[in-house]
Amino acid sequence: MASSSTKPIFTPPLTTSSSSSSSQPPTRSSLLSFLHSTTPTPISLNLSRSRISFLNSPSSAVRSLSIKNAAKTIEAAETSRVSRVGGLDANSQETKPTILVSEKLGEAGLELLRSFGDVDCSYDLSQEDLCKKIASCDALIVRSGTKVTRQVFEAAKGKLKVVGRAGVGIDNVDLQAATEYGCLVVNAPTANTVAAAEHGIALLAAMARNVAQADASMKSGQWQRNKYVGVSLVGKTLAVMGFGKVGSEVARRAKGLGMQVIAHDPYAPADRARAVGVELVSFDQAISTADFISLHMPLTPSTKKVFNDDTFAKVKTGVRIINVARGGVIDEDALVRALDSGKVAQAALDVFTEEPPPKDSKLVQHERVTVTPHLGASTKEAQEGVAIEIAEAVVGALQGELAATAVNAPMVPAEVLSELAPYVVLAEKLGRLAVQLVAGGSGIKSAKVVYRSARDPDDLDTRLLRAMITKGIIEPISDSFINLVNADFTAKQKGLRISEERVAVDSSPEFPIHTIQVQLSNVDSKFGSGVSEGGDISIEGRVKYGKPHLTRVGSFSVDVSLEGNLILCRQVDQPGMIGQVGNILGEQNVNVSFMSVGRTVRRRKAIMAIGVDEEPNQETLKKIGEVPAVEEFVFLKL
C-alpha cells in the first residue's frame, strides 16, 4: 500500500558540457513566476509553497507598454508596486528590486526604473566589480560596452532575473549562459533604428566626400582642394548586407540619394524588399557588383569575419565599405590588406572588433578610413527612446510579464497570455501531480502531453504550457529552478523528453483547450490506479469556471478542484467510504475542500479524490490506510 508521498528518484544523465558544479544553473524556489522570486531558496520537497506569481496580477499580464505611454507606465508601476502582495514588488522598501545600470541611459528610462526599484547607476565597472555587484541585483541594464559573460551569471547566484540590453545587438551578452541560469534577456530593438540608419548614411556621404580627412587637414592649417576630390553617390550601386530594420532604412534613404540599391539577406522576406524597391541578391552577386557595401547584419557565429581575404578578393576594385553593424563581421587585418592593395578604396567604420580599438590600430589610423566611436545609436532622440523601451521591458519582466522583446524566451503576446492563464496553472499542477505518482527509484525519461482542443493547431500556442508542465515535473524532484527561459534546456539536460500531441475535439473553440493530459511512460507508479490501460502514469485535467480541475486519474474519472492538497484513495466501491475517510480527516481538523468519487464498474473499484486544505500528519494518513476497504492511497501536494 502506498503511503504518503516520498521523494521519487530522478536520475538525470547530464548531457551538456556545462555540468560542473560551479557552472550549474542556480537553485531558486521561484516559479515561472517568471522572474519574481526575491531570494534564491533551495528547492526542497516543500511542495506547498505558493506559486503562480507570474500571472498573479491580471494587470501585469495585460498591461501594454509603449514609448508614448512612459508616464502612464511609471504610474502603473507605482500603483502595481503598492497594491500587490506576495510578489517581488510588494508594498515594502525591502522588496524593491535592485536594478543595476552599467552604462549611460536616457533620463526618462531612469525615471521609470526609479519609480519601480532601487536604481544603481555604476558606469565603467571592471568585470570583477560587475561580478561583485551583480549578486545583489535583480536586473542589469547594459549597452554595448558591458560584457555580460558566463562569469557574471555565475556570480549572480540566481538573483539576476533579467538583463536589459538598451539597444539592438546582444552579442555582448552570453545568451546560452543566461538561458541556463533562467535569466531573461530583453533588448530594445526599435528605438535606435533610424539613428543607426542616419549614421550609416552620414558615414557613406562623409567617406565619399572625404569630409573627415579634409576637416582634419584644414584644422592643421592646410587647404588641399585637389587632394580631397570625392566620388559621387548618384547612380552608384549600394549593396545593403542585412536587410533588417536598419538595412531597409538605409536602403530607403540611399534610394532618395539616387543610388541603385541591392540587398543580401538570406532571411528577409521578398515583399519587404519589393516594398522598398530593392532587389534581393546572393552574397556573391551583392559584393561583386556594388560600388558601396553597407553592413547591417548581426554578429553571429555565421557572420563573424564574413568579410575576409576571400571576400575582398571578389569585390569590385575600388569598392567602399561602411560598417555600422558590428566590427566582428569584418576580418580587420584583411581589410587593412585590401585597403593597402587598393582593392578597397575606402572604409567608414563605426564599430570595431575590440572597442575601443587599440590606439595604434592600423585600421583606425589608415588615411582612407573614416572612424567614429560606435555612435550609431547616439542621438538624443534614440537614447531617450531606447531608455524608455528597455526600462519598460525590464519593469514588465520584473513584474512577471513575458516581454515582447525577449531574446532568449518565446514571446507570448499579452492577449494569449491572459487567455492561457488558468491553463498555465493547470499545466504546472498536472506535471507536479504526475511526478508524485512515480515510485521512488524510477527515472523519468519521457513525458507526453496531450492537448484536447477544438482550436486549429495554428491558434494554439502551447510553449508556455509545455514549460509549466516541465516545471511541474522537474522542480519537485530536483534542485533546478525552471521558468519559460530555461524549461526546454533543463529538460534536455536532465534527459527528459517532452512530446506533445494535439487531439481535435468537438467542443467550443471559444476555450483554447478542453483537457490536458500528462502521461509518464516507462516508470513504476506508487499508486497503481494512476496507471492507464496503456501502462503509463496518466492524469488529465481541465479548466472549469476558471479553475484547474483534475478530471481523470489512470482510467478513473474524477472531478476535483486542484487547490490545496489532494488525497487519492482506491477502495472497494461500497457505501460509507466517504464518511469514514472524511471523519478521520475531520478528527484531525483537516478541512476537506472537495471530494469526488470515480469508478469503473459499479460496486467494484472506485477512486476517491479528496481535496484538503491542510497537510494531514502521518498518523492521519496511517488511519486512512487502515480503513479496510482502502486498497491504496497517496497524498499529493499541489
Ligand X SMILES: O=C(O)C(=O)COP(=O)(O)O
Ligand Y SMILES: NC(=O)C1=CN([C@@H]2O[C@H](COP(=O)(O)OP(=O)(O)OC[C@H]3O[C@@H](n4cnc5c(N)ncnc54)[C@H](O)[C@@H]3O)[C@@H](O)[C@H]2O)C=CC1
Q: What CA–CA distances, in Å, run from 502 to 416, 426, 433, 452?
A: 18, 17, 21, 6
**Contact window for ligand Y (CB under 6 A) among 297-305, 398-406, 548-556, 594-602:** 297-305
Catalytic pick among 51, 81, 326, 552: 326
Q: Minimal distance in Å, beta carbon 191 to ligand X?
A: 9
Q: Minimal distance in Å, beta carbon 378 to ligand X?
A: 6
Nearer to ligand X, 299 or 566 (CB): 299
Site string for ligand X, 147-166 (x = CB under 6 A): -------------------x
- Binding of residue 324 to ligand Y (CB under 6 A): yes
Q: Minimal distance in Å, beta carbon 356 to ligand Y?
A: 14
- Binding of residue 138 to ligand Y (CB under 6 A): no
For residue 241, the partner it binds in ligand X, ligand Y, none, with Cβ less than 5 to 8 A by kind, is ligand Y
Nearer to ligand X, 117 or 376 (CB): 376
As a whole number of angstroms, the distance between CA 43 and CA 28 comes to 6
- Binding of residue 115 to ligand X (CB under 6 A): no
Q: Minimal distance in Å, beta carbon 242 to ligand X?
A: 12
Assess whether 326 carries a catalytic annotation: yes
Catalytic pick among 84, 199, 374, 466: 374
As a whole number of angstroms, the distance between CA 140 and CA 126 comes to 15
Site string for ligand Y, 351-370 (x = CB under 6 A): x-------------------
- Binding of residue 636 to ligand X (CB under 6 A): no
Burial label, 21 (beta-carbon count in 10 A; 0-12, 13-18, 19+): exposed
Beta bridge partners of 516: 451, 541
Q: Minimal distance in Å, beta carbon 193 to ligand X?
A: 9
Catalytic pick among 78, 128, 355, 381: 355
- Binding of residue 195 to ligand X (CB under 6 A): no
For residue 552, the partner it binds in ligand X, ligand Y, none, with Cβ less than 5 to 8 A by kind, is none
Dihedral Cα 282, 285, 289, 290, nearest 10 deg:
30
Q: Minimal distance in Å, beta carbon 121 to ligand Y?
A: 21
A 10 A CB-CB count for 263 gives: 26
Residue the block writes with cell 472506485 = 606
Q: Minimal distance in Å, beta carbon 156 to ligand Y?
A: 24
Longest CA–CA span in the chain (Å) reads 108
Site string for ligand Y, 585-614 (x = CB under 6 A): ------------------------------
DSSP codes of every residue in 533-545 = TTSSEEEEEEEET
**Contact window for ligand X (CB under 6 A) among 75-83, 139-147, 252-260, 500-508:** 139-147
For residue 637, the partner it binds in ligand Y, ligand X, none, with Cβ less than 5 to 8 A by kind, is none
For residue 264, the partner it binds in ligand X, ligand Y, none, with Cβ less than 5 to 8 A by kind, is ligand Y
Q: Minimal distance in Å, beta carbon 299 to ligand X?
A: 9
**Strand 118-121 to strand 98-101: parallel, antiparallel, or no bridges (unpaired)?**
parallel
**Contact window for ligand Y (CB under 6 A) among 185-193, 232-240, 307-315, 402-410:** 185-193
Backbone angles phi, psi at 340, to 5 degrees: -65, -35
- Binding of residue 268 to ligand Y (CB under 6 A): yes
H/E run at residue 204:
helix 193-208
Assess whether 272 carries a catalytic annotation: no
Burial label, 576 (beta-carbon count in 10 A; 0-12, 13-18, 19+): exposed
- Binding of residue 243 to ligand Y (CB under 6 A): yes
Beta bridge partners of 238: 261, 292
As a whole number of angstroms, the distance between CA 374 and CA 144 comes to 9
Using CB under 6 A, which of 97, 164, 167, 182 touches ligand X? 167
HEC-encoded secondary structure of 305-335: CCECHHHHHHCCCCEEEEECCCHHHECHHHH
- Nearest alpha carbon to residue 104 among 145, 139, 71: 145
For residue 246, the partner it binds in ligand X, ligand Y, none, with Cβ less than 5 to 8 A by kind, is ligand Y
Contact by Cβ (8 Å): 191, 70: no
**Contact window for ligand X (CB under 6 A) among 215-223, 369-377, 544-552, 609-617:** 369-377
DSSP codes of every residue in 220-272 = TT---TTTT-----TT-EEEEES-SHHHHHHHHHHHHTT-EEEEE-TTS-HHH
- Binding of residue 245 to ligand Y (CB under 6 A): yes
- Binding of residue 296 to ligand X (CB under 6 A): no
Using CB under 6 A, which of 236, 316, 320, 326 touches ligand Y? 326
**Contact window for ligand X (CB under 6 A) among 70-78, 143-151, 328-336, 560-568:** 143-151
As a whole number of angstroms, the distance between CA 527 and CA 580 comes to 21
As a whole number of angstroms, the distance between CA 393 and CA 184 comes to 11
Backbone angles phi, psi at 349, to 5 degrees: -125, 130
As given in the structure block, the three cell numbers for residue 51 are: 506559486
- Nearest alpha carbon to residue 105 among 73, 152, 142: 142
Assess whether 570 carries a catalytic annotation: no
Using CB under 6 A, which of 69, 378, 521, 557 touches ligand X? 378
- Binding of residue 192 to ligand X (CB under 6 A): yes
Q: Which parts of this chain interact with ligand Y (CB under 6 A)?
A: 167-169, 189, 192-193, 196, 241-247, 264-268, 296-299, 302-303, 324-326, 350-351, 374, 376-377
Active centre residues (catalytic)? 326, 355, 374
Contact positions vs ligand X (CB under 6 A)? 143-145, 166-169, 192, 374, 376-378
